[in-house]
Chains A and B, each alone.
Chain A
Amino acid sequence: MANSDESLIRRFKNGDEESFKELVKRYQARIYSIVFAMMGDKNDADDICQEIFVKLYRSLYQFRGKSKFFTWLYRLTVNTCINAQNGRKRKLQTISLSHPVGESEQSLVEFIEQDGENCSIDILKNKELGMKINSAIDCLSDDLKEVFILREIEDLSYRELAKILQCSEGTIKSRLFRARDRLKEKLLPYINNS
């Protein structure tokens, strides 16, 4: 029997640390995906994700339950990412043996992961397409990027997106249209022969 977010938060407020663990496990992959896509860098994603959950831990007591918990968490996530982007200069790329050379290959294996049982190494060959999509998303302006990422990863409704990003549903609709239009423009030559 799965606990609802709300009941976990209630238990947490009553001093149950385990319920925080459950919350983290429940949301870590989604938050991580969002942060990774926003930052476009694994190192940053690791640090910022931890930061987000630390923030969550410390502010969960103040959560009043006026809005849905995930709306609140996603807003925290998006804001933290944007702050980090503003405050951070691009770091020099490190290239020790245990550091990946380019982020481009990154997505590929995650690709495999998603494929679950059919995961075959052949998909690694789809490298180029993956790289193209990643870089196209990376090129979007921040306001288009955040709405696109949240929509694709979380399948959130326009109403929920509007709440998280604090704008109107009309704005969400037009931003998504624009984001996809840009992507299509960049990716058209590649998606048709895949």
Chain B
Amino acid sequence: MNLVKYLIALFIFTFSFILTFATFTFPSRAEDSEHIMRSSFATTFQIDFEGIKEVYIYRPQTFRFVTRVIYQKPDFVYTEYLEPDQLKGKIIIDDGKRRIEYLSVEDRTRILPSFNHPQMETLREMALKVVLSNFKISFLSREEMLGREVYVFELSPKNTISPSLKLWIDKETYLTLQRETYGPGGEPVFFFRYIEVEFNKEFSREKLYEKIPQTAQIKKEPPLVSYFTEKEITEKLKFPVCFPTYLPPGYVFQAGELTEEKRDVKLIYTNGLEVIVLFQRPRVNIMMRHHRWVRTDKMRIRYVTGPYGSTLVWDGEDKTFVLMGDVPVEELIKVAQSVE
């Protein structure tokens, strides 16, 4: 009799143990991983936060940057470079309307359209979809980092040319606290982690703006950027637009941009992490140094490969094309050949 009771107790105990364990590891379910991914994309616009971030870029040689980052709801981002010396004092303020980049060493300012304005949200949403379809997301573990609980995820590409990622995502706010990026060959490409974090901090924006000298705060408005679909571009343009029929695995059309004269087109394709950009405009001579040539039956292409991918330049019948992207150059050549 006692034995039966004992067995029942054991059963209940194991069952409840499994249940709790299962809830602890809940991100193993696909839609939960997806939810976390989605939240992490938008999180920088939902927190008041200050942190010190350490960034490494491994190509072609190792660069190390240290930045102070401040996020303020709903669309304010402040970045200040602390290291290296050449960039010390460089400040970027993006308030959702415009983006001011102040380079202290040269006392020079650049005004750009904001990276956080509402139209960007659509682009971000799209990038997320592309990421979700291009990568297999697996939950690796729960860890502790900077005294906070984090989920560790791995994103492995479903094709052979994309990088793979490891993410450390804060459980409470979904902010990515660390990320490692590896190239298709497994070589480290990029790495960042926060070394200090402080959540729910109050700031005065004015104080932050004061860090940029008044002389540098030109009232100039940034150039207007609008994004169009493929169809809109074809209709708006003064000359027929060429689209590539081949794209590297995982890449889809993101958006097109036009200059004000509607003569230059910029087509942007993305795999969620990187972009391939195709510029086309009436024939022009493009100065390019140190390039090499590829000759195919149809065309002669000039190209160079640098730390952020390759650049191809070639002339069509009455147009000049520039193609840039961070994929193997063979892939870009295929894209170029498919442009019609």
Contact surface of A with B, Cβ cutoff 8 Å: 42-43, 46, 95-102, 105-106, 109-110, 112-113, 117, 119, 121, 124
Asked, given contacts A121-B330, A124-B329, whether A96 binds B306 with beta carbons under 8 Å apart, the answer is yes
**Which single residue of chain B is at the shortest CB-CB distance from A112?**
B294
Closest 4 CB pairs of A and B: A97-B306, A101-B60, A121-B330, A109-B292
A98's partner among B288, B293, B296 (CB-CB below 8 A) is: B288
B199 to chain A, nearest CB (A): 36
Q: Could you say which interface size class chain B belongs to? A: 20 to 34
A110's partner among B61, B290, B292, B308 (CB-CB below 8 A) is: B292
B293's partner among A97, A113, A117 (CB-CB below 8 A) is: A113
CB-defined interface of B74-104 with A at 8 Å, one 1/0 digit per residue? 0000000000000000000000000000000
**Which single residue of chain B is at the shortest CB-CB distance from A121?**
B330
| A113–B295 touching, CB < 8 Å | yes
B contact patch SS: mixed
| B306–A109 touching, CB < 8 Å | no
**Which single residue of chain A is at the shortest CB-CB distance from B328?**
A124
- Interface-centre pick from B59, B293, B305, B333 (highest chain A CB count, 10 A): B305
| B306–A101 touching, CB < 8 Å | yes
- Interface-centre pick from B61, B292, B333 (highest chain A CB count, 10 A): B292
Q: Complex Cα distance A17/B107, Å? A: 49
Is B304 part of the contact surface with A, judged by Cβ < 8 Å? yes
Asked, given contacts A121-B330, A121-B333, whether A97 binds B292 with beta carbons under 8 Å apart, the answer is no
**Which single residue of chain B is at the shortest CB-CB distance from A106?**
B292
Within 8 A of A (CB), among B262-306: 288-297, 303-306
A33 to chain B, nearest CB (A): 13
Is B307 part of the contact surface with A, judged by Cβ < 8 Å? yes
B304's partner among A99, A110, A113 (CB-CB below 8 A) is: A99
| A117–B297 touching, CB < 8 Å | yes
| A97–B307 touching, CB < 8 Å | yes
| A112–B306 touching, CB < 8 Å | no
Q: Complex Cα distance A117/B295, Å? A: 9
Contacts of A113 in B (CB 8 A): 293-295
A99's partner among B289, B293, B296 (CB-CB below 8 A) is: B289
Asked, given contacts A121-B333, A124-B330, whether A101 binds B295 with beta carbons under 8 Å apart, the answer is no
**Which single residue of chain B is at the shortest CB-CB distance from A124?**
B330
| A109–B294 touching, CB < 8 Å | yes
Asked, given contacts A112-B295, A117-B297, whether A95 binds B290 with beta carbons under 8 Å apart, the answer is no
